[in-house]
Amino acid sequence: MKSSCKFQSNSVLQIFLFAELQYILPHMCIRKISIDQLSPGMFIYELDIPWLQSPFLRHRRKINSEKDVLLLKKAGVKELFVDLQRGDDLPSENTQAEPIKTEAETESAAAPESENKVSNSSSEQKTDEQEKILLNEELKVAKVLQGKIGKVVHQLGNLVKAGKPISVTTITPLIDEAKASLVRNDQALLTMLHLHRQDLKLSDHGFGVFAVVLPLAIRLQCTEEQINDLGLAALLHDTGWARLPVHLLGKNKAYTSAEQKLVQQHPEIVEKVLIKSADVPDNVKKLVKQHHELSDGSGYPKQLKNDQVLELVEILQVADFYDEHLHGLTDKPGMLPVNVLKQLYQSAKKGLFREAVVSELIHVMGIYPLTSAVKLNSGEKALVVEIDKQKPLLPQVKIIYEANGDRCMSERIVDLAQSDQDNLRVAGVIEPLDKKEDPFGLLKVTHV
């Protein structure tokens, strides 16, 4: 990856938790130091390098020895933040360190120079926005692309089912098309992902993971090669399901032990085919093979641990988790987007995923993801139709129900960030399947 996304990640997490989880991060004392001032006993809060370049599984950890310091220097760390509540401070005679700051002060002051340049060049931002394609226009392209990807994933499933090798020559152009769509409007593919699915198909899941992986990888500043590998892996990762009993997909009930064993075979089913597929990059093969392995050894099929698991695989795992839980593809029913993000955050706190990756996913999805059904503080009910990344708590919404519960007779789009009603905001997310909240079923989006 090219640069770190750490500071923006944490700020997004704070907003998300404040808005949806009513969670406030504990007050912390953070000090910025140079790598030469780091010593055993200190607790690292943040590094100035991307998470993929770190020699450790997690940025936040205690320094146990001089060897740890040398590893960080070798990885290119120049400056870092240490948490004084969880580790040692500098010797009192040292006057070179910056003063102690709270976590919030640290994150607002420590944004990378490139981010500061972006925030200071509002005129350039406006020019970029003007060049963006309107969402409604790009949705037409995204719908066609979704159809193409669905066909490709279906064909890949058939090849895996038959045990025949796979060629990626016809797949890679789709990745280029998708990246071009994201440049024009980065919310069109995500809108298609969030639409309600009448039938649960592997092809839809392949598209869903693909639609999450690309913007997430771009947001994490992956290299072009890494983005392409993740895109291919997203389309391939679950094609092993094509050889499993049909009823296991979207069962929505707990698997029996026998069914669980069957389900856990799908990465190895694909692996056997990929071994015979000469033009599939090795990194893609590893990503597909390991997309259910977790660094704590609780994953499958090989129960790999720590450095045995390819670091890049977390991006694929988080995208897979999001689409799978959103649409109820395995043994649990589907969930509201915001609840999936909440579960992902909780999993990150347990160490199953990196907080940086989950934080960036939240930034990509928005505090209130596209097509979320929400209630405004005015009492009106609406659908989120567009997200303002600079003001994540103030999306653009389509009003569906008036405050008195009556159905709106005409479409009304309100940009909460630009609303004449200064205090108009989202009061909470609602369940679109709740007949009381949505008597006409208008909040359950099934088409664009």
- The CATH class for the domain spanning 133-365 reads mainly alpha
Q: How confident is the model at residue 378 (pLDDT cuts 50, 70, 90)?
A: very high
Residues 6+ positions from 47 with CB-CB distance below 8 Å = 4, 6, 54, 59, 72, 77, 80
Q: What is the pLDDT of residue 232?
A: 96
Least confident of 24-28, 47-51, 402-406: 24-28
Instruction: Return the residue matching tokens 């895109």.
Output: 231
Give the span between the Cα atoms of 182 and 284, in whole angstroms.
22
Sign of CA dihedral 298, 300, 305, 311: negative
Q: Tokens representing 370?
A: 């596209």
Q: How confident is the model at residue 104 (pLDDT cuts 50, 70, 90)?
A: very low
- Number of helices and strands (H, E) in the chain? 16, 10
Q: What is the mean pLDDT of residues 425-444?
A: 85
Instruction: Write down the domain spans for the chain.
Output: 6-119, 133-365, 373-429
Among 52-56, 154-158, 225-229, 255-259, which is the least confidently predicted range? 52-56
Q: Which of 143, 214, 145 is nearest to 183 (CA)?
A: 214
Q: Give Rg (Cα) of the chain.
A: 23
d(CA 423, CA 163): 59
Say if residue 269 is exposed, middle or buried (CB neighbours under 10 Å; 0-12, 13-18, 19+).
Answer: middle
- How does the average pLDDT of the chain come out, rounded? 81
Find the length of the chain: 448
Q: Is the pLDDT of residue 26 over 70?
A: no
Mean pLDDT value of segment 394-413: 90
Q: How many CA atoms lie within 13 A of 124 on its CB side?
A: 5
**Is 120 a residue whose pLDDT tops 50?**
no
Select from 363, 327, 334, 357 the least CA-distant residue to 344.
357
pTM of the complete model: 0.71
pLDDT of residue 200: 66
Amino acid 111: pLDDT: 38
- Cβ atoms within 10 Å, residue 390: 9
Average confidence (pLDDT) over 309-335? 90
Distance CA 183, CA 174 (A): 14
Confidence of residue 314 (pLDDT cuts 50, 70, 90): very high
Instruction: With beta carbons less than 8 A apart as the criterion, state whether 310 and 288 touch.
Output: no
Confidence tier at 38 by pLDDT (50, 70, 90): very high
> Looking at residues 153-166, what average pLDDT do you find?
92
Q: Residue 108's pLDDT is what?
A: 41
Roughly what angle, to the nearest 10 degrees, separates helices 313-327 and 224-236? 40
